[in-house]
Structure 1
Amino acid sequence: MTDREQRTPFYGVLMILVALGAAMAVSYYGPAWFRVTVYLLAVMLIVVGGVMTFRDYSR
């Protein structure tokens, strides 16, 4: 396993945590359009982070 392959799951988890933190930060404050935008970006970031985290390098 290369160094890059070992860092990929870490970056995936980091992306998920950032997305969840951003969604929590705007959950009560700010205009509705901004919250919806952040939620949509958070969902996309969580999906990409999940793929990076659980990608199988056993090939």
Structure 2
Amino acid sequence: MLPMADKGHKHRGDDPQRTPLYGVLMIIAALAAAIAVSFYGPVWLRIVVYIAAVAVVAVGFVFTLRDYSG
């Protein structure tokens, strides 16, 4: 018997159309957090959020353009 994955069944989160959507949502959420913290909050919190936002935007960018790579 073949395992279920080899029979063509999809697992949750395997839809390739969703990956770019997740990337765009990650970018939007990171930018929204960076904008929100820029109006209020101590400097140390702003720095932490900005660094986290850069990392999340980078991962979101990779997710968004993943299907276009060669």
Aligned length: 58
What is the TM-score when the length of structure 2 is the normalising length? 0.75
Instruction: Report the structure number with the largest CA radius of gyration.
Output: 2
Any runs of at least 4 consecutive aligned residues in structure 1 with deviations exceeding 2 A, and if so which?
Answer: 56-59
What is the TM-score when the length of structure 1 is the normalising length? 0.88
| Larger RCO (alpha carbons 8 Å, 6+ apart) | 1
**Residue 9 of structure 1 pairs with residue 10 of structure 2:** no
Gaps of 5+ in 1: none
Query: Sequence identity of aligned pairs in percent?
Result: 60
- Selected match of 1:18 from 15, 29, 39: 29
CA RMSD of aligned residues (A): 1.9
